Structure 1
């Protein structure tokens, strides 16, 4: 079951700022890489593992 975490507006230059809660759940910080993954018509955000 999916859990709603946060919502944001897309800013200038197609930027989206992640909330502290989302960054904490993904364990990401400034400079980290994330992946946008499309699966069954949905887009997921995932931390890129080194």
Structure 2
């Protein structure tokens, strides 16, 4: 499930100027606890839909 969402984000951002932002976020996410990860992912999906 999480990997599917990540692939969706990767594919959508790979052709967008947010890609560099996404890559820096991925490095940040690696250090997050699971609860923080889900909160961040939720906010990210909201931003992608905006």
TM-score (norm 2): 0.25
More strand by share: 1
Normalising by structure 1, we get a TM-score of 0.25
**Which has a greater percent of helix?**
2
